[in-house]
Amino acid sequence: MPKVLVILIVLSAVLLVACNTAPPASDIVVREAWVRAAAGVVETAEEHSSEGMTGMAMGDTDATATPTEEAAPMGGMDMGMNGPVSAAYMLIENRGGAADRLLRASTDAAAVVEIHETQIDDQGVGQMRPLAEGLEIPANGSVRLEPGGYHVMLMDLRRDLVAGEMVRLTLTFESGKEITVEAEIRQP
């Protein structure tokens, strides 16, 4: 009988340790996700030839638009990138005690997805640049991705982004956490 009691105690201890060593749930929360509408991305060959256009770029410009953006066909966000572009915005909260980092994002709506930052130069012109190291989300803090600041750049769009529809985005963090969000497509 004492051997059975010892075995039960050891098994109970092992189970308690196993239950307590499970990795903690991620403390990252994504809210208020939305994507800038981009119309006219998809055009037929007939429309293309009948209008005599050589290509279109879509989306609306930010208040920080560069001259290239303002001159893009249809008021789009061409910015010299291959194909039409848009951007995704959201609030990323880190409710945990350790910083995390947004490393990448993906969506089936775009061929290329990058994390970008817009910086305003001395002349007041917005310059976008990719964040090669990702975007840090501070411990017990948050980062807002918004027009004119941090954003997820959607390049070489594969379809029109129609206001009222949804885009699925998957965000990958340094901690290994992946969060998939349904972002509403909106006119800014």
Cβ atoms of residues 149 and 118 within 8 Å: yes
CA distance 102 to 179: 10
Cβ atoms of residues 139 and 97 within 8 Å: yes
Residue 137: is its pLDDT beyond 70? yes
31 vs 77, higher pLDDT: 31
Band (pLDDT 50/70/90 cuts) for residue 10 is low
CA distance 95 to 23: 16
Q: Which CATH architecture has domain 25-186?
A: Sandwich (2.60)
Q: Is 34 helix (H, G, I), strand (E, B) or coil?
A: strand
Structure-block tokens of residue 94? 């880190």
- Give residue 95's pLDDT: 94
21 vs 31, higher pLDDT: 31
Cβ atoms of residues 60 and 36 within 8 Å: yes
pTM for the complete prediction? 0.67
CA distance 149 to 22: 37
Q: What mean pLDDT is predicted for residues 73-85?
A: 50
Which amino acid is residue 67, in one-letter code? P
CA 47 to chain centre: 32
